[in-house]
Amino acid sequence: MTTRSDASGPQFPEERVDRIRRKLLRWYEEFARDLPWRRTRDPYAVLVSEIMLQQTQVDRVRPYYDRFLECFPTANDLAAAPTSDVIRLWAGLGYNRRAVNLQRAAQVVCRDYGGTFPRDVAELRKLPGVGAYTAGAVAAFAFEEDVAFLDTNMRRVVERLEFGSRTLTDREVIIAAERLLPPGQSWTWNQALIEFGALQCTARKPACVICPLQQECTAFPTIQSELAAKQTQPRQASVAFETTSRYFRGRVVDALRSLPPSDQQGLDLADLGSRVREDFTAEDTPWLLDLVRGLQRDGLARIREESPPYDDGQSTSDLEIRVHLP
């Protein structure tokens, strides 16, 4: 029997690899959702979808994806747009920094690559906001390059199939993913892995009883008891999202986004603070200033100071600071 093996991974009999491929691709052919970004090979449109899908559910992304491409149909259009317009269009999608990074990526493509997206993973990773997963996704879904990459769903499927519940390194999992990848079928295979992890092999309630890969799955004999044991473990107390900096950062951006596009003055700190927190007082001004300075570093806001810069020894009442979208 022919096998593929590596010191850091398990044995991979070719017959078993072939069975996994056939079964998973057959499942995908039957159950794959019709998603708009699966109907294109345009690397720009693929990148837009992948950035939007980061930590955001598919159903929420769909209308934003269509609307975004209507407003900015090409990388050149996005690169040349006012950043404030991009941030406004992103309203409601969350993680606003993604909008700025997406525009910066488009600008780099236009400036350094003549408007043509690179197809090499290493080159794609040089783009702002593009990590290993996103670079692999663009290479596979736009250019159909044979490349293995992993998001949370994909990793879970590979881990359960090949390793059971063993603790793994990233290298072990990516080696396994590379072995499972059928040559010449990167687009379909990676889409199938994503879909299977999202719909069938889910984190909390995998449908093991009706799973087509049940006989091939290393985790199947023990997965139900292990999941049940995890559910009985006490959960750590979580911090309410409404008290976090990310929540208030979003409130600041929403307040600035609510201003008419023609408004070049923005909001002063007192007005902005009252829109961000109902209990805002002058004593909270240093906190708010730190918050908006962080947003300015991320390209999500712009601060105009009409007096000397703020420092620890200066009274907040001496400040004439206004904040607006970039």
Q: What residue has token string 């606003």?
A: 96
Residue 240: strand pairing partners: none
Angle at 310 between CA 308 and CA 311, to 5 degrees: 120
Q: The tokens 């850091």 sit on which residue? A: 8
How many CA atoms, within 13 angstroms, populate the side-chain half-sphere of residue 119? 9
Q: Quote the radius of gyration of the chain (alpha carbons, Å).
A: 24
> Closest by alpha carbon to 38, among 16, 67, 62, 68?
62
Active site residue 29: no
Q: What whole-number distance in Å separates Cα of residue 45 and Cα of residue 138?
A: 9
Q: Which of 14, 29, 30, 50 is catalytic?
A: 50
* C-alpha separations of 89 from 110, 236, 254, 318 in Å: 21, 36, 11, 35
Beta bridge partners of 268: 322
Whether 46 and 138 have beta carbons less than 8 Å apart is answered as: yes
The whole-angstrom separation of Cα 176 and Cα 155 is 10
Smallest CA-to-CA distance from 88 within 74, 107, 68 is with 68
Catalytic residues: 50
